[in-house]
Structures are given as C-alpha cells and as structure tokens.
Amino acid sequence: MTTHSPVALRELSGDQLFVMGRDGTKCEARKVGTENDIQSTIRLFPDAFLASSIIVGEGASEVGLVRGIDYFRVAGSEASIGSIGNALVDSGGGDADRALMRAAALRRLGYRSAVLRDDDIKPTEAVEQAFEANGGKVFKWRDGRTLEDELFLSLTIEAVGKLVDYAIGLHGEDLVDAHIRSASNGSTNLGAIRSELLLDELSARSREILGHAARMRRAGWFKSVTWMEQASREIVGPDLAEADAGFRAIVESVFGWAAGAGD
C-alpha cells in the first residue's frame, strides 16, 4: 500500500515504512528504519518524507528565517520552496552534530539534504565531512557567528531598529534592557542603544552586543519558528537587498540550492 498522507507516516513505525526512490534506471524501496534521528523526524515532521529535498535547520530560528524569507519572496511573485519539492526540519537547536546526523539519515534514504547551522559552536569535523562526502550540503553563518549575530551585524540600521522594537513588543522593555546590560557587562543599556539608532550611528560594538543579547539561552528574542518567521518576513526579507553582501550571499545560496542549483 502506498500513501502520501503525513498522518499515516506519523502513526507507523519506521520499520513499517519504505521510501520509493530511483537509482539510475532502477526503482528501489528503502526501509526507513527506527534509528532515533529518523523516528523522531517521522513523528515531528512527517511532511518532510513527502518532499524530495530537505533543509535541516540547527534550530527553530533557522527554520523560521527560511520560512519568513520564503513568504516574502512569494509575495514578490517567486515560487515557494515548498512548491518545488522542499521541506524544512528543525533539529532542536544547541547541537550542530544533531542537525548533521538527522540530515545524514535522510540522505541515506535518498533525499537531497542540506543543513543550515550556526558557527559559534563547531560540529564534530568528521561528522560534517562524512555528511558532505555522501552528497549532503552544509550552509553556515560566518566564522563564530550565530544567526542573531548575523542579523544585527549585517542588516541596515533601520532594520536593526525594527528588530529591537519587535523584541520589545514580544518581551517588554525590561527584559530587552536586562539582556543588553548583561551582554555588555553593564557598559550599555536599551536607552543608549535607542539613542544611537535615533542618530543613525549604530556602532559595531553595539551591533555585537545586540547579537549577543538576542540569543540569551532559553530566553532568546526570536527563538521560535513563529517569532523568527515574522521577523524574517517583515524585516529581514525587505532589507536583504541592502544588507551586508556576505550575509546576503549565504541566504541566496540556501534558496539557490532549494531551487536545484549546484546539483
């Protein structure tokens, strides 16, 4: 029996499921299996198994970023990445190895797989090399940076101001101020950052502090798919054309891969 129902996938065990795929001129039935990375993906993201290409985000923020920019692109008459066979999977954050292993398990089943990860904590080199050697693709933020670092270091001052306002709308001024004070070891605060933004003179140091403040563990400003998706759709996407070229190149390469570039 064949199915394209995510409900059926979620209810069955991996040893009851097979993925039909093509290997040259042959058609193969590959057993999904019950290894942790596969079984958890079936339960949480069954739709991914109905796609042909899968982007595994290290955390919810990466998934939200791609979804939000995708929605922004669609509003500008671009094809959505979902409509051309892509699915997004959240590996849970905090561990690049987990994202790579989840993507590697999907790759072994014949899916075209990529990982989008932070670079503040490096993955195990052998794990990443093995994934790439098997045809996987890795996208990562620049050396030592998280997504939040990239946003506050790369976007225009106007967009950074909008991100700060959005964070305040989500969490309140007191929490945002407390995070800025903590990230700067008490050397600055929300009021001082706002003064710089009003003068259109945001310093590199202030950008670094905001990136650090925004990614406080367990209390990140945008650390949910929904929060980052909205920020990405309404702030990051519209600002991308004016953003730092290095950041823009990474984002564009992700969407280029989703469209089939580089195969």
pLDDT in tens, 147-162: 999 999 999 999 999 9
Q: Are residues 59 and 140 in the same domain?
A: yes
Counting the structural domains of the chain, the total is 2
pLDDT at site 261:
60
Q: What percentage of the chain has pLDDT greater than the value 70?
A: 99
Q: How long, in residues, is the chain?
A: 263
Residue 249 lies in a domain: yes
Of 242, 260, 232, the closest CA to residue 62 belongs to 232
pTM of the predicted protein model: 0.92
pLDDT at 111 over 70: yes
Residue carrying structure tokens 């798919």: 225
Query: What's the domain range around 66?
Result: 6-144+245-258
Query: Taking a C-beta distance cutoff of 8 angstroms, is the pair 45, 82 a contact?
Result: no
Residue 213 lies in a domain: yes
pLDDT at site 215:
94
**Paired strand residues for 86:** 53
pLDDT in tens, 71-107: 999 999 999 999 999 999 999 887 889 999 999 999 9
Residue 1 lies in a domain: no
**Paired strand residues for 30:** 19
- Residue 46 DSSP symbol: G
Residue 34 lies in a domain: yes
